[in-house]
């Protein structure tokens, strides 16, 4: 029984093609391993460039357990600085967001430019004066920072695959989201809800592209609002679950939307009700606009912590083996004023601690977390749809709308990271 | 409505709290006017609620949707419902404008639900209106003291 074994976890035994062991969600040693091998090594989503639109803008973010300041310098570059004074490790920034050219540590007054460079240390003769310790004692930066469609990722490892390699097929899904803007730009400027969740972060990551649960967990709100969403995740749906590789997965709803062939159906509306948006899209994209307007937004989980659910963006912040925080906001599309307010309104109804969808997901995560603490039958079953998977024209593994293809992709990548040297 | 007794306003506020505590969805819903706004802001500033994420920002029709979801018995975040009791205090009348009065109060609320007890606290601002001689609720804004922190699930009526 791996749960009682005091040796190093044997990830090959705990993670099998059709089942995973419950201790993966509860064991603090495994959580510590995840910090080292996933959160502080691979690419992790941190924030969006639109959150620091102007030079000097900054916003506090997290990367694993790290408190990170995302800043935009006067040079326009976005940086990720660790919020830790190089002197005695005090926090140099306590505000959640703002605009500042520098950060001053309250403890002994050390001051850093928003690039991280040390520019002041009071009574500096104690260090031999100016021009002595500056090069050695700057704020630490996240070693690698890269963005795609304004989504900023950081890696605490000095080398490794670049962001394009990590994102792989998932990059195209972020591109699809950006293409819904007539200006080709996503903005995450509506503010964030933060939902404290007493569950392991992986339960969320697995659920994001689980097309099996919506009819059950969300049956209450679907029935009350006569929502057509439930039908997208049914046995009859032509939508598919796709393993995008590198732990990423998606529920590809396009087959259903193509079958209907109605522009804006993905948003629950018609072109007549958002005429300004539709005409701007047609002006921007020409003939391609029809396809974009029919196919709508992606539903993609980007390993390990970024989830785009059509008009919402979620970020998973791990806290401990048994706790995490869900961050959520509404997508805003540059040049799509007719949609933006409605996306906020719909998102506020759906997500966050009181959301009519997400509060029920969170209830499931928290009950799951209590369940995985029970010692029998030890395993979580992952076999749904294994017998009917196929390979699509891109060479990716695809299951039906309700199959656990995404989860299996998540775990295959997770295992490769946890077993890597 | 210069003849409105402040004690009547307090009684209304206590009644609204009791309906929420006891999950009396029908009675609670009947308190609202047609232009109702039930608002629990998140951490951002309060200037432009329509342009920012809120924890709750329900107009009258969304209040009905929220209550109808609870009424299905399959709103799992409230199945079973939380056991609730709140204390309302520091009630102040802040202003009057025609048939409308603005009042505010502080509250502390204990929520018991597996696996434990959660304490909620904050300030509520009520917009009350006299309609056909009866007080009704036109607006309720709940400013949680911890709205800048990650919040646990808030699926009951706060």
Interface residue of A97, A188, A192, A194 to substitute, partner B, most B CBs within 10 Å: A194
Average pLDDT over residues B40-67: 93
CA of B74: which chain A residue's CA is closest? A220
At A93 the pLDDT is 98
pLDDT over 90, % of chain B: 89
Choosing from A85, A120, A155, the residue where a domain stops is A155
Task: Evaluate whether A17 touches A384 at the Cβ level (below 8 Å).
Answer: no
Cα distance between residue B46 and residue A35, in whole Å: 37
Which residues 319-378 of chain A have a CB within 8 Å of chain B?
Answer: 325, 328-330, 341, 344-345, 347-349, 352-354, 356, 359-360, 362-364, 366, 370
Residue A16 in domain: no
Give domain status of residue A75, yes or no.
yes
pLDDT of residue B44: 73
Residue after which a domain boundary falls, among A93, A123, A155: A155
Sheet holding B54-59, edge to edge: B54-59, B32-41, B134-144, B116-131, B100-113, B83-97
Burial class of residue A35, CB neighbours in 10 A (0-12, 13-18, 19+): middle
Q: Is the pLDDT of residue A5 over 80?
A: no
pLDDT band at B47 (very low <50, low <70, confident <90, very high): confident
CA distance A347 to chain B (A): 8
3 state DSSP class of A421: coil
Flag if B148 and A96 touch (Cβ within 8 Å): yes
Residues B144 and A43: their CA atoms lie apart, in Å, by 35
Domain identity same for A315 and A233: yes
Arithmetic mean of pLDDT, A315-326:
98
Q: Which residue has the tokens 């804004």?
A: B141
A349 and B62 in contact by Cβ < 8 A? Answer: yes
DSSP bridge partners of B102: B95, B127
Report if residue A23 sits inside a domain. Answer: no
Residue A311 lies inside a defined structural domain of this protein: yes
Distance CA A259, CA A282 (A): 21
Kindly determine whether residue B55 and residue A352, on different chains, have CB atoms separated by under 8 Å. yes
Does A368 have pLDDT greater than 80?
A: yes
- Inter-chain residue contact B150 with A329, CB threshold 8 Å: no
pLDDT of residue A8: 85
Please tell me the predicted confidence (pLDDT) of residue B2: 52
CA of A245 vs chain B CAs: smallest distance (Å): 31
Domain boundaries, chain B: 6-144
Percentage with pLDDT > 90 across chain A: 97
Q: Which residues of B touch A353 (CB under 8 A)?
A: 55, 151-155
Alpha helices (runs of H) in B5-122, residue ranges in sequence order: 6-21, 25-30, 60-71
Domain-embedded: residue A14 = no
Check pLDDT > 50 for residue B56: yes
Mean pLDDT of A358-385: 97
Tell whether A109 and A258 lie within a shared domain. no
Architecture (CATH level 2) of domain B6-144 = Roll (3.10)
Q: At A115, phi and psi to the nearest 5?
A: -95, -10
Q: What is the ipTM of this complex?
A: 0.96
The answer on pLDDT for A4 being more than 70 is no
Dihedral sign of CA atoms A158, A159, A165, A166 in order: negative
- Distance, in Å, from the CA atom of A297 to the CA atom of B129, rounded to the nearest integer, reads 43
Q: Which residue has the tokens 């570059």?
A: A77
Contact B31, B129 (CB under 8 A): no
Are B65 and A349 a contacting pair at CB < 8 A?
yes
Would the CB atoms of B44 and A225 count as touching at under 8 Å?
no
Interface contact flag, A223 B72, Cβ < 8 Å: yes
User: Does the pLDDT value for residue B122 go beyond 80?
Assistant: yes
Q: What is the mean pLDDT of residues A99-119?
A: 98
Residue A3 has pLDDT above 70, yes or no: no
Task: Give me the pLDDT at residue A157, please.
Answer: 98
How many percent of chain A have pLDDT more than 70? 99
A324: nearest Cα among A369, A360, A388, A287: A369
What the block records as the tokens of A239 is 């939508």
| Domain carrying residue A61 | 44-155
Instruction: Report whether pLDDT(B149) > 70.
Output: yes
Q: Is residue B54 very low, low, confident or very high in pLDDT (cuts 50, 70, 90)?
A: very high
| A259 shares contact with chain B (CB less than 8 Å) | no
- Asked if residue A329 and residue A221 are part of one domain, the reply reads yes
pTM of the model: 0.96
Kindly report the nearest CA distance between residue A364 and chain B, in angstroms: 8
Closest Cα of chain B to A260: distance in Å? Answer: 27
Residue A408 vs residue B115, higher pLDDT? A408
Say whether A354 and B155 touch across the interface (CB within 8 A). yes
Contact between residue A181 and residue A65 where contact means Cβ atoms under 8 Å apart: no
Q: What percent of chain B has pLDDT over 70?
A: 98
- Report the SS3 class of residue A290: helix
Q: Are residues A224 and A352 in the same domain?
A: yes
pLDDT (0 to 100) of residue A169? 98
Domain co-membership, A148 together with A219: no
Q: For chain A, how are helix, strand and coil distributed in percent, rounded to 5?
A: 35, 25, 40
Query: Each residue of A81-108: pLDDT tens digit?
Result: 999 999 999 999 999 999 999 999 999 9
Last residue of a domain, one of A123, A155, A187: A155
CB proximity list for A229: less than 8 A, separation 6 or greater: A214, A218, A222
Report the b/e string of B99-130 with b at 16+ CB within 10 A: eebbbbbbbebebebeeeeeebebebbbbbbe
> For chain A, how many structural domains are there in total?
2
Over range A49-65, report the average pLDDT: 98
Provide the CATH number for the domain around residue A309.
3.90.380.10
Q: What pLDDT, on the 0 to 100 scale, is given for residue A224?
A: 96
Cβ neighbours around B12 below 10 Å, total? 19
> What integer pLDDT is reported at residue A71 of this predicted model?
98
pLDDT of A1 over the 50 cut: no
Mark whether A188 and A82 lie in a shared domain.
no
> Of A27, A78, A37, which is closest to residue A418 (Cα–Cα)?
A37
Q: Chain A, 190-249: which have a CB under 8 Å from a chain B CB?
A: 190-196, 198, 217, 219-221, 223-225
* CATH code where residue A65 lies: 2.102.10.10
User: Is B3's pLDDT higher than 80?
Assistant: no
* Residue A220 lies inside a defined structural domain of this protein: yes
Position A237 pLDDT exceeds 90: yes
């Amino acid at each position: 029984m791996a749960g009682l074994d005091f040796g190093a976890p044997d990830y090959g035994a705990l993670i099998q093609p059709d089942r995973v062991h419950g201790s993966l969600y509860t064991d603090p040693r495994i959580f510590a391993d995840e910090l080292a091998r996933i959160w502080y090594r691979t690419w992790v989503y941190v924030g969006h460039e639109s959150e620091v639109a102007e030079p000097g803008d900054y916003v506090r973010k997290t990367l694993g357990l790290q408190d990170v300041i995302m800043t935009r310098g006067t040079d326009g570059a976005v940086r990720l600085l660790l919020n830790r004074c190089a002197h005695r490790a005090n926090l140099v920034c306590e505000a959640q967001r703002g605009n500042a050219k520098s950060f001053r540590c309250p403890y002994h007054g050390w001051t850093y430019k928003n690039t991280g460079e040390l520019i002041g240390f009071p009574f500096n003769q104690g260090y031999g004066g100016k021009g002595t310790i500056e090069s050695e004692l700057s704020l630490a930066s996240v070693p690698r920072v890269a963005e795609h469609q304004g989504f900023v990722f950081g890696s605490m490892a000095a080398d490794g695959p670049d962001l394009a390699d990590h994102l792989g097929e998932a990059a195209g899904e972020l591109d699809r989201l950006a293409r819904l803007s007539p200006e080709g730009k996503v903005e995450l400027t509506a503010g964030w809800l933060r939902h404290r969740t007493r569950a392991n972060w992986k339960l969320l990551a697995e659920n994001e592209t689980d097309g099996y649960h919506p009819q059950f967990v969300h049956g209450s709100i679907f029935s009350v609002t006569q929502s057509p969403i439930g039908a997208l995740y049914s046995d009859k749906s032509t939508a598919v679950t796709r393993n995008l590789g590198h732990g990423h997965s998606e529920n590809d709803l396009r087959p259903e939307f193509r079958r209907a062939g109605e522009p804006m159906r993905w948003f629950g509306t018609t072109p007549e009700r958002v005429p300004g948006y539709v005409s701007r899209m047609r002006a921007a994209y020409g003939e391609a606009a029809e396809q974009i307007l029919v196919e709508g937004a992606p539903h993609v989980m980007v390993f390990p912590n970024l989830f785009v659910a059509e008009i919402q963006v979620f970020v998973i912040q791990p806290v401990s083996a048994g706790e995490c925080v869900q961050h959520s906001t509404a997508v805003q599309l540059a040049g799509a004023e007719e949609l933006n307010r409605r996306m906020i309104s719909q998102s506020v109804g759906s997500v966050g601690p009181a959301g009519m969808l997400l509060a029920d997901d969170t209830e499931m995560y928290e009950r799951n977390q209590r369940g995985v603490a029970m010692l029998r039958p030890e395993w979580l079953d992952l076999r749904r749809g294994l017998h009917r998977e196929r390979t699509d024209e891109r060479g990716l593994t695809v299951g039906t709308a309700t199959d656990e293809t995404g989860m299996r992709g998540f775990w295959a990548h997770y295992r490769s990271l946890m077993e890597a040297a | 409505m210069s003849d409105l007794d402040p004690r009547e306003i307090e009684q209304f506020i206590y009644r609204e709290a009791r309906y929420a505590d006891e999950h009396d969805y029908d009675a609670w819903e009947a308190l609202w006017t047609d232009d109702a706004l039930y608002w629990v802001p998140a951490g951002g500033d309060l200037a432009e609620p329509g342009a920012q994420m809120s924890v709750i920002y329900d107009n009258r029709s969304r209040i009905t949707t929220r209550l109808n979801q609870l009424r299905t018995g399959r709103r799992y975040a409230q199945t079973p419902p939380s056991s609730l009791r709140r204390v309302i205090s520091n009630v102040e009348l802040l202003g009057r404008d025609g048939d409308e009065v603005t009042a505010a109060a502080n509250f502390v609320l204990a929520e018991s639900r597996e696996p434990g007890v959660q304490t909620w606290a904050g300030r509520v601002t009520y917009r009350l209106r006299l309609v056909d001689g009866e007080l009704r609720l036109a607006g309720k804004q709940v400013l949680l003291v911890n709205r800048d922190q990650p919040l646990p699930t808030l699926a009951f009526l706060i």
